[in-house]
Chain A
Amino acid sequence: MLERYSTAASTYAHWIDYQFLLIAVLVGFWLIVAEAVMVWLVFKFRAKDGRPTQYITGEETHLKRWITIPHVLVILCDIVIIVPAIMVWYNIKQVLPPPDETVRVIGQQWAWSFQQPGPDGVLDTADDIRTVEELHVKVNTTYHFELMSRDVVHSFAIPAFRLKQDALPGRVITGWFRPNRVGTYDIQCTQMCGVGHAMMAGRIIVETQQDHAAWLIRNSNPAMTGQQSTPASTTDALATMAEMRR
């Protein structure tokens, strides 16, 4: 149901979509029944001359069951919803499958920046690739992301992946995703973060293994080899960018 409105491009997108469908069917059923009963009662018991009102307190057992039975059914539906909901949650947020790659995602007013390992495959070495607003990843690869913020609370969201996680200053939050569909998808910030909130857009580019390897080679900076990584320069570039937006 969700896929009609938003592309699904990660392995767990379908889990959430099925959960959404399950809830939609169950609550949709109850909503329609309840609305229909209400409308029917309003028409059936419109005031008419000569028909007296029935005196009902609601304490009568034979009438109470009309509340009790649906009520028990609602509780059953709640259980049918909550169990898979927690399973989906557990598998997305609570357990981390072993990563093939790790990327670092940094939010700041008002841009996303990314740090990922260069050809050596290790984060925090000189050949790391730092990008702003664009994250290149390989399809069918399990990624861990280390999410942090430099200033205020941001929220790292990729609708096509059904991924959302707030970035908090002072904490590193680790999560995961596994893209399963090649393409370019939006990255949003979904937490109010100041006047540039609407500008805090990014793109995630899911590539085939070959395309990604080619991109890695193009972007790993030979001049950086042997140097310490310099986060400061990225910060400056970002600051300038944020300044320009103001």
Chain B
Amino acid sequence: MSTKVEHAAPGIFQKYFWSTDHKMIAMQYMFTGMVMALLGGFFAYVFRMQLGFPNQHVPGYGIVTPGKYNALVTMHGSIMIFWVAMPLLIAAFGNFLIPLMVGCDDMAFPRINRLSYQIFLLSALVLLSSFLVKGGPFGGAWTAYPPLSAVGAYNLTPIGATLWLLAVALEFVAFLLGGINFTVTTMNSRAPGMKMYDIPLVVWMIVLASIIFMASAGPLIAGAVMLLFDQTMSTGFYDPTRGGDPLLWQHLFWFFGHPEVYVVLLPALGIVAEVVAVFARKKIFGYKTVLYTTWAVGFLSFVVWAHHQFVAGIDPRMANIFSVTTLLISVPITEMVFLYIATLYGGSIHLDTPMLWALGFIAEFMIGGVTGIFLGSSGTDIYLHDTYFVIAHFHYTFVPIAIIALYAGLTFWYPKMFGRMLNETLGKIHFWGTVIPFNVIFIPLFITGTAGDQRRVYSYAQFAEQSRPALQHLRTTSTIALLFMLSFQLVFLFNFFWSLRHGKRAGANPWRSATLEWTVPSPPPHGNFAELPTVYRGPYEYGLPGGMDDFLPQNVPD
């Protein structure tokens, strides 16, 4: 395994673009994800401006026409899920953390790992290239329901639609390769002594997320191939006039699409678990129960997909089954959140920036969770389906996942990644400047949704009930809050890049954490461990009785 061949200093290309080192690949995923996040955020800014201040010139963009609006919301959704949440939460953290936390020198398949990032980069480039083609990028929503997505005459973006589909398919290939690597590495390359229940939760969660992804992506890839054929070869898989069925795509898409929610949720929950344990100086309350609930969530996530389709024209009797499974999934998730909250009991809570983000995640995610009940219960979904209530609900899950938990992870592991501390004051400014506007963006949207605002509409001028001034005030409020939230991200970017050179030196273990990645220097050298560690205990031995130091690292013998 670790026959370390020390190369002469690699060239810049070798080092930054052709590396098989898991930490470098993590950085590649991270910076690509951050660039895509800026783009996705910019799109949100443009279409929120159109909604908040209709038909006015948007600074930095121009007039938003209906076609451009559709493309912007489609790209915002696709990018934030596939090119931000997944690369940052799963690939960046998975790559960086798994070998360090299970105590090995690199991924099980380093070259597959490199290939995974390269295909991911290609997928991002294919998506971006659709901005340059005739007709512009795809505008048929990230769910891409045919026949709209299948027929150029309907969507008016025939090339963009195909490029979108190819980009998504390539992204899937990248994450299948990544998922194999995460799973195999965790199962086979753990340090001696690390039993299944000694694996840190974040690693477990990333592995389970990868397994869920790999198990759910197949049907969608099959669906995507059929859609590609419909688009380019005039087949009729989704064309009812030729024996096809548009509902088929919806089933294939959501069979993937709902587990995908948990694919990004689980790594976020894992990150939060690590942060809460370290900053409360507490063992996770019921580590095994957390794992069991995760498995339950993973399993149930495969049998809830049709709750996206209650009113889609499926057999109405089916809605009853899916309504029950959907409410059932609230049981393990609630349990997990309770366990996280219970972990705080009896601890010594330090409110450093990573902990603020972690607590912010729990507080905000609960709102996302409970509002899901309104949508999962079939009766109320008839009214709320495809309204802004849905948008507000899933942003209350996805923003805590892909923004808040991400920042919890970034601020927590930044010292390990770069060897320097982030500035605490700027971190706290950034936290409050993100979390407060976030609520001011989406609480008004719960109300407009309850008032009947439908989604994916660039203007409500045609709808008398939605044109009420009170609703427009709410939309404008939401847009202004978004401007605040986006501008506070500059504080983070400044902090991030400034601290790379000027931050306080971190040392190996600034947070006094018990897991293996903190036993190596920051940043970890090539090959990670000077001597591969042996593990003696679980990952959360904090506040031990007996008055020694308040924590025991996993690799220290008794």
Interface residues of A (CB under 8 A from B): 2, 5-7, 15-16, 19-20, 23-24, 27-28, 30-31, 34-35, 37-39, 41-42, 45-48, 51-59, 63-64, 66-67, 70-71, 74-75, 78, 81-82, 84-90, 92-94, 109, 151-153, 155, 157, 159-160, 162-171, 173, 184-186, 188-199, 201, 203
Contacts and interface: CB of A to CB of B under 8 A. Distances in A.
A35 B363 contact: yes
A195 B311 contact: no
Interface of B: 66-67, 69-70, 139-141, 143, 145-148, 151, 154-156, 240-241, 245-247, 280-289, 310-313, 316-317, 319-320, 323-324, 327-328, 330-331, 334-335, 337-339, 341-351, 359, 362-363, 366-367, 370-371, 373-374, 377-380, 382-383, 385-387, 447, 450-452, 454-466, 542-545, 547, 550
A89 B316 contact: yes
B456 A78 contact: no
Contacts of B281: 47, 53
25 contacts: A5-B450, A16-B379, A23-B380, A38-B359, A53-B280, A54-B282, A58-B289, A58-B339, A63-B342, A71-B338, A75-B331, A89-B316, A153-B145, A155-B311, A162-B382, A163-B382, A165-B313, A168-B240, A184-B464, A188-B454, A192-B455, A192-B456, A194-B139, A194-B154, A196-B66
B317 A67 contact: no
Nearest to B156: A195
B462 A201 contact: yes
Given A5-B451, A169-B246, A201-B463, A41 B345 contact: yes
A163 B147 CA distance: 23
A197 B456 CA distance: 8
Contact of B385 (A7, A164, A192, A201): A164
Contacts of A93: 311, 316, 319, 378, 382
Contact of A152 (B154, B319, B385): B154
Contacts of B154: 109, 151-152, 194
A188 B288 CA distance: 48
A73 to B, nearest CB: 10
Given A23-B380, A66-B342, A84-B379, A194 B462 contact: no
A34 B341 contact: yes
Contact of B148 (A84, A85, A192): A192
A153 B386 contact: no
A109 B384 CA distance: 23
B148 A67 contact: no
A165 B241 CA distance: 21
Contact of A198 (B145, B338, B383, B458): B458
* 9 closest residue pairs by CB, A with B: A170-B240, A53-B543, A88-B379, A58-B286, A54-B346, A159-B452, A85-B377, A58-B285, A201-B462
A184 to B, nearest CB: 8
Contacts of B328: 78
Given A45-B345, A58-B285, A78-B331, A168 B247 contact: yes
Contacts of A184: 464
Contacts of B547: 52
Given A15-B379, A84-B379, A195-B156, 9 more contacts: A27-B373, A53-B348, A54-B345, A58-B289, A67-B285, A89-B310, A94-B317, A170-B241, A194-B156
Given A38-B362, A85-B323, A55 B241 contact: no
